[in-house]
Amino acid sequence: MNDKIDIKVDTSPVKIQPAKNSHSKVESSRSRIYVRAVKGLYQTVRRRMGMVFLSAFMLLPWINFNGQQAILLDVEQQQFRFFATTLWPQDLLLLTWIFIIAAFALFFVTTFLGRVWCGYMCPQTVWTFIFIWFEEKIEGSRHQRMKLDDQQMSGKKLYKKVLKHTCWILFSLYTSLTFIGYFVDIGQLFIDFFTFSTSMLITAWVLFFTFCTYGNAGWMREIMCTHICPYARFQSAMFDKDTFTVSYDANRGESRGPRSRKTDHKAKGLGDCIDCNLCVQVCPTGIDIRNGLQYECINCGACIDACDGVMDKMGYEKGLISYTTERKLEGGVTHILRSKLVGYGAVLVVMMGLFVHELYSRSAFDLDIIRDRNQLYRENFNGHIENTYTLKILNKSQHNSVYTLSVDDLPSEVKWLGDKQIEVVSGGVANLPVSLELDPYLLDEAITEFYFVITVKNSAGEPETQYHESRFFKRR
């Protein structure tokens, strides 16, 4: 018996077919996603939320407070100004609390509502939909854009493409200038940039962020969400069966299939899904939600609005695709209050409480005491002991202040050698050298603890006092 198998070698060239949803003859690295416009409750909420936060981002740097830019993160001068509050490197703990609160807020929201941050408030999503809006206004609807890309280059096509990319670049440039305006004086920035007077460093940063915005929102789009953003990868660690996510009810929708509105689909064994694929066409990441929960889903609810519109036209009940939980789809009852969600919420409340306490207990000035490094004390010609200090005063307020200094817990005979009052400019640091002179027989110990007392009037005109511990040395 011959066990050999005859093999026929096909030497004809292999033809690689494009992706099923690809309509571009230019792109070969990935299938381009043509997002279809959709109207509905969730898209209205998403657009309005996006407009609120976009408007806040664009307008906040232009607000003035007490004659200064209200929000200015001045890295060069090492001061972060937020209206009446200015944070300094000494206030790093406050910034730490802010990042911790933001992290736990993200954990809490994700456990409750899934990746809803990505769909409604993430800058990548907001700017991507803005760029898609430019596409729709210039190139037309989804079908028109696909048809335009399939056409050979012509004057009309070139005009639309140039106009679209020009709008993208101009909006990216304005975004970049606004973002840089949070770190430098925004009014002067716009004047200097358009008069070609900015420094090389600022110009480089403006062009860099312009390129990033143009590339991310115009070209990369869903790649940022599915391949680069780490949130998509670790979000599943915060999900459970009671997390609300955009989900397809397969028990109700299957078996799917096209039909007319008058058809009794139940008699034919069909589910409510008519397999129109609108849920795929409106998805900004190009997934089919009917395949189950996928890490690419950003919970924007576009497929819900599209499906509800179809269900309404067909006369079916809405909610075939909805914000629901895995437990509910399995026929159970969703548990809103559960240990994980309560735990995240409790930690978030505690962190916010600690932040508020730290913020309100923060002083508008600070005092550092530096002793003379050459000698702990010296004896003068009167036989008295002198200790020398350098008082470093930091004015963390937004106005010039006059500080008055004294000592406490030393005998009243102590003699202060040096100025007792000093004015420090806003954000400035002043060094005040002083010496304390005292008869050694008035002290019982070789080392005596005492306090430097610093007093200043706050913005309300009330005195604010701090006590800073130090030591007075004498011979044994």
Q: What is the DSSP string of 350-369?
A: HHHHHHHHHHHT--SEEEEE
- Which of 220, 246, 267 terminates a domain? The answer is 220
Residue 7 has pLDDT above 80, yes or no: no
Residue 314 has pLDDT above 80, yes or no: yes
> Span 24-39, mean pLDDT?
68
Q: Is residue 173 part of a domain?
A: yes
Beta carbons of 355 and 98 less than 8 angstroms apart: yes
CB 255, CB 329: distance < 8 Å: no
**What digits encode the pLDDT tens for the residues 240-279?**
899 999 999 999 999 999 998 888 888 888 999 999 999 9
Examine the fold and report which residue of 220, 248, 276 is the final residue of a domain before the chain moves on: 220
How many folded domains does the chain comprise? 2
Q: Token pair for residue 453? A: 């007392």
On average, the pLDDT of the chain sits at: 88
Among 323, 334, 309, residue whose Cα is nearest residue 246: 323
Provide the whole-model pTM.
0.81
pLDDT in tens, 85-128: 888 887 888 888 899 999 999 999 999 999 899 999 999 999 99
CATH number, domain of 458, equals 2.60.40.10
447 located within any domain: yes
**Residue 84: is its pLDDT beyond 50?**
yes
Position 353 in a domain = no
**Is the Cβ–Cβ distance between 468 and 454 less than 8 Å?**
yes
The domain boundary, picked from 220, 241, 272, lies at 220
- All residues at 6 or more sequence positions from 462 whose CB lies less than 8 Å from its CB, including other chains: none
Q: pLDDT for 197-234, tens place per residue?
A: 999 999 999 999 999 999 999 999 989 888 888 887 78
Question: What average pLDDT does this structure show over 162-185?
Answer: 97
Average pLDDT rounded to a whole number, residues 323-351: 92
Confidence of residue 398 (pLDDT cuts 50, 70, 90): confident
Residues 328-347 have a mean pLDDT of 92
pLDDT bracket for residue 291 (50, 70, 90): very high
Does the residue 275 lie in any domain?
no
Per-residue pLDDT at 19 exceeds 80: no
Residue 248 lies in a domain: no
Element (H, E) at 91: none
User: Could you tell me if 94 and 87 are in contact, meaning their C-beta atoms sit under 8 angstroms apart?
Assistant: yes
pLDDT of residue 88: 83
Helix segments in 60-154, DSSP class H: 92-113, 116-120, 123-139, 142-150
Q: Rounded mean pLDDT of 468-475? A: 91
In a domain, 352, yes or no: no
- Residue 24: per-residue pLDDT: 38
Strand partners, 80: 73, 87
Cis peptide before 363 (omega within 30 of 0): no
Question: CA-to-CA distance for 434 and 470, rounded, in angstroms?
Answer: 13
What ranges make up the beta strands (E) of 149-263?
A: 245-248
Pairing of strands 321-324, 245-248: antiparallel
Q: What is the pLDDT of residue 21?
A: 43
The residue segments making up the domain with residue 409 are 365-473
Rounded Cα distance, 67 and 82, in Å: 13
What per-residue confidence (pLDDT) applies to 301?
94
> pLDDT value at position 11?
42
Say what the pLDDT of residue 346 is.
94
Whether 435 is in a domain gets the answer yes
Task: Give the three-class secondary structure for 431.
Answer: strand
CA dihedral angle for residue 348, residue 351, residue 357, residue 359, rounded to 10 degrees:
-100
- 14 domain residue, yes or no: no
Q: Which residue has the tokens 């609390």?
A: 97
The fraction of the chain above a pLDDT of 70, given in percent, is 93
Residue 439: CB atoms within 10 Å: 15
pLDDT of 426 over the 90 cut = no
Q: Which residues, in sequence order, are bridge partners of residue 371? A: 389
pLDDT band at 189 (very low <50, low <70, confident <90, very high): very high
Of the candidates 22, 182, 58, 53, which has an alpha carbon nearest to the alpha carbon of residue 125? 53
How far apart are alpha carbons 50 and 16 in whole angstroms? 41
